[in-house]
């Protein structure tokens, strides 16, 4: 994690009632996005775009630089996730959310 994001995480844990309104400066850091991408598990299901981590890795430096630039200028709009309900015997239903791989990169702590 980047230093700013680590510091923010500590502040948020110390005072959970506090509100934060300017977080984009921490989220578009290219090094942080690269670290988030590396932490993603390779054996997870692909996103709704059908892309797996191995496919995204081909040219990931350019893709993450583009994602960083779009986040910086507030031009990135994530696509909606696909919600799937799976009925189980013991419980009513389990809800799973499937998003784009780049959304997973962006949201991985």
Q: 1-53, pLDDT tens digit by residue?
A: 467 777 888 888 998 888 877 777 777 888 888 888 888 888 887 877 788 99
As a whole number of angstroms, the distance between CA 95 and CA 109 comes to 21
**Which of 22-36, 57-71, 82-96 has the highest average model confidence (pLDDT)?**
57-71
Query: How far is it, in rounded angstroms, from Cα 103 to Cα 8?
Result: 20
Host H or E run for residue 86: strand 82-87
Mean pLDDT throughout 65-89?
A: 80
Give domain limits for the chain.
Answer: 3-107
In the predicted model, is pLDDT for residue 55 greater than 70?
Answer: yes
pTM of full prediction above 0.75: no
């Amino acid at each position: 994690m980047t230093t700013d994001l680590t510091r923010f995480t500590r502040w948020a844990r110390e005072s959970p009632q506090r509100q934060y309104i300017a977080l984009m400066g921490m989220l578009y850091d290219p090094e942080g996005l690269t670290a988030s991408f590396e932490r993603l598990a390779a054996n997870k299901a692909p996103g709704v775009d059908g892309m797996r981590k191995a496919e995204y890795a081909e040219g990931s430096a350019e893709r993450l630089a583009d994602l960083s630039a779009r986040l910086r200028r507030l031009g990135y709009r994530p696509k909606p996730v696909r919600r799937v309900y799976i009925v189980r015997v013991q419980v009513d239903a389990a809800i799973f959310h499937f998003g784009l791989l780049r959304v997973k990169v962006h949201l991985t702590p």
